[in-house]
A and B are shown apart, each in its own frame.
Chain A
Amino acid sequence: QKEVEQNSGPLSVPEGAIASLNCTYSDRVSQSFFWYRQYSGKSPELIMSIYSNGDKEDGRFTAQLNKASQYVSLLIRDSQPSDSATYLCAVNRSGGGADGLTFGKGTHLIIQP
């Protein structure tokens, strides 16, 4: 069974610091990787997608992928209180990608003012 593992937290980070969120996955054939942000009582919102080894930057967010280690991470620079949320790592269920995502249980991030 394919699995996506995340530390549930809470992860507490001071405002202005870098928040580092980590995720490991079990299926070596996975090709698409996503980070979603979910505020309490709200729906998941796509933050980043990454498909190739290395780093991908978008504003204050950087996604990092290492397929050899089956590891994907999300860095949030200059953390703001509005970044406090649960961050979900998701991986495509098969190589094709049409059959949905497998989600981790999420990391609860708290940015302390």
Chain B
Amino acid sequence: NAGVTQTPKFQVLKTGQSMTLQCAQDMNHNSMYWYRQDPGMGLRLIYYSASEGTTDKGEVPNGYNVSRLNKREFSLRLESAAPSQTSVYFCASSPAGGLGQPQHFGDGTRLSIL
């Protein structure tokens, strides 16, 4: 019963490198989300996918792109990493859009940009 699985768990990049963070959920949820968490800033929404085939910007989308590959998978791509993108990244999913749908989180990816 895996829930939301994120890979990798840790990554160190150099400035300007690119990488993709992977997220998969096995709960048959329609909606998926990417957040970043920085000290003193709380969790902030980067991008979300309300349903398969749709993606939308959240609060802090600059420097990121996403792909909703299928209902299970939602990836986050950094095209040219910057030190300001050093953060902990969480993927989350929820059953469907609408009132009262809590989100379930993966274990996170700890990303350092040097």
Interface positions of A (Cβ within 8 A of B): 31-32, 34, 42-46, 49, 51, 88, 90, 92-93, 95-106
Contact = CB atoms under 8 A, between A and B. Distances in A.
Given A32-B101, A104-B42, 20 more contacts: A32-B100, A34-B103, A44-B105, A45-B105, A46-B104, A95-B99, A96-B97, A96-B99, A97-B98, A98-B50, A99-B50, A100-B33, A100-B35, A100-B45, A101-B43, A101-B45, A102-B45, A103-B43, A105-B40, A106-B42
A90 B43 CA distance: 9
Given A44-B105, A46-B104, A105-B41, A100 B48 contact: yes
Interface of B: 31, 33, 35, 40-45, 48, 50-51, 56, 58-59, 90, 96-108
Contact of A44 (B43, B58, B99): B43
Contacts of B101: 32, 97-98
Nearest to B51: A98
Contacts of B59: 102
Contact of B99 (A32, A45, A46, A90): A32
A23 B107 CA distance: 25
15 contacts: A34-B102, A43-B105, A43-B107, A49-B100, A88-B43, A90-B43, A93-B45, A96-B98, A98-B97, A99-B56, A99-B97, A100-B33, A100-B35, A100-B45, A106-B42
Given A49-B100, A96-B97, A105 B42 contact: yes
A95 B97 CA distance: 10
A102 to B, nearest CB: 8
B106 A43 contact: yes
Contacts of A42: 107
Nearest to B4: A43
A97 B42 contact: no
B22 to A, nearest CB: 16
6 closest A-B pairs by beta carbon, nearest first, are A98-B97, A105-B42, A98-B50, A103-B43, A43-B105, A100-B45
Nearest to A48: B102
